[in-house]
Amino acid sequence: MSGVWGKNIKLSIFGESHGNAIGITIDGLLPGIELNIDYIKREMERRMPGKNKLSTARKEADQFEILSGYFNNKTTGSPLCAIIRNSDQHSKDYSKLKSLMRPGHADYTGNIRYKGFNDYRGGGHFSGRITAPLVFAGAVAKQILAEKGILIGSHIKSIANVEDDSFHKVNIEDSLLSGLLKEEFPTINKEKGVEMRKLIIDAKGELDSVGGVVETAVLNLPVGIGSPFFYSVEAHLSHMIFSIPAVKGIEFGEGFDITKLRGSEANDEYYIENDQVKTRTNNNGGILGGITNGMPIVFRTAFKPTASIARLQHTIDIEKHENAELEITGRHDPCIVQRAVPVVEAAAAIAILDLMYDIK
């Protein structure tokens, strides 16, 4: 399995959903970085399961333990390693899933790819549980970026067909992102947030699930980060974002809608204000030629509906090699989008910091 990522900062992520622990090793951090442990705890709590009726009933405190690379409140320059113990596994819920392939999950593909030796309990290494260490790494990266004035924030853009307002692509206030970071269910339009919550509860009551979109903004990035072709900002961000389970799409700026514009409309025209080069629009999402242009990076991440649903579904028994039916038991999120918000931000922070180390 490929659990290693990065160019300048290398991540090695490990563990399974129902194993003893999950964790991450971060290699390449500069020495002497002071870490705010309370801030990391708050970021972990944003993703933490079992907080309300919109998420899984599995309760994990997500308390992390730093094993190496941290001494006297600062990074040492050696690999920073942290683990998170699993404490609320119900492995018996998955006993029959050894041979029954859950629709929408990686059971079948994982079984074939790893010749049946993969840990199938709770999805094993494919599980969204493994995003907890990613949030830890992202919380470290966000602190380093914040020291440079760079802020990352998100809101729930949509759940199924209920849409929140969008970020203004040119003028996004730091205070808006800071406010969203404090919300359990972050939306710009609070009435739309109420509608989204009801939609999730309704889907749960119908033994079903829903997906949605997270919109993210990165503010105050300097001009000149990224490079063509294979380390463009879009490519590097997309690589990390698509590493998050259940992600099915990403678009920058106007995204696919830019195809509906003419060049005269799509081009972001320049102007100078207070000796700063800016653009009047931001259809390209703050990136041109794979390089930041000083405008906000704005992108949207699409998440599919939670694959684990309690409805009767058709599947196969891979051992008997015959058709079968399945009702999934256990504890699952009717919608993962609200808990995915800090994961997207973490992934973005890691990717951007990795690119910024090119010019350190």
Please check whether residue 47 is in contact with residue 184, taking contact to mean a CB–CB distance below 8 angstroms. no
Please check whether residue 35 is in contact with residue 74, taking contact to mean a CB–CB distance below 8 angstroms. yes
SS3 21: strand
CA distances from 311 to 204, 207, 208, 233, 329 (A): 11, 6, 7, 41, 10
47 annotated among ligand-binding-site residues: yes
186 annotated among ligand-binding-site residues: no
Please check whether residue 282 is in contact with residue 268, taking contact to mean a CB–CB distance below 8 angstroms. yes
126 annotated among ligand-binding-site residues: yes
125 annotated among ligand-binding-site residues: yes
The length of the chain is 360
Pairing relation of β-strands 162-163 and 151-159? antiparallel
Please check whether residue 352 is in contact with residue 237, taking contact to mean a CB–CB distance below 8 angstroms. yes
86: nearest Cα among 49, 52, 54: 49
DSSP characters over 39-75: HHHHHHHHH-SSSSTTS-S------EEEEESEETTEE
Please check whether residue 123 is in contact with residue 106, taking contact to mean a CB–CB distance below 8 angstroms. yes
SS3 164: coil
41 annotated among ligand-binding-site residues: no
99 annotated among ligand-binding-site residues: no
Please check whether residue 337 is in contact with residue 303, taking contact to mean a CB–CB distance below 8 angstroms. yes
246 annotated among ligand-binding-site residues: no
Based on the number of CB atoms within 10 Å of its own CB, is 3 exposed (0-12), middle (13-18) or buried (19 or more)? middle
- Number of Cβ within a 10 Å radius of residue 41: 16
Cis preceding linkage at 229, omega within 30: yes
- Number of Cβ within a 10 Å radius of residue 165: 12
53 annotated among ligand-binding-site residues: yes
Q: Contacts by 270-277 with C-beta closer than 8 Å and gap 24+? A: 277/223
64 annotated among ligand-binding-site residues: no
178 annotated among ligand-binding-site residues: no
Which residues are annotated as part of the binding site for FMN?
A: 125-127, 289, 304-308, 331
Which residues are annotated as part of the binding site for NADP(+)?
A: 47, 53
Which residues are annotated as part of the binding site?
A: 47, 53, 125-127, 289, 304-308, 331
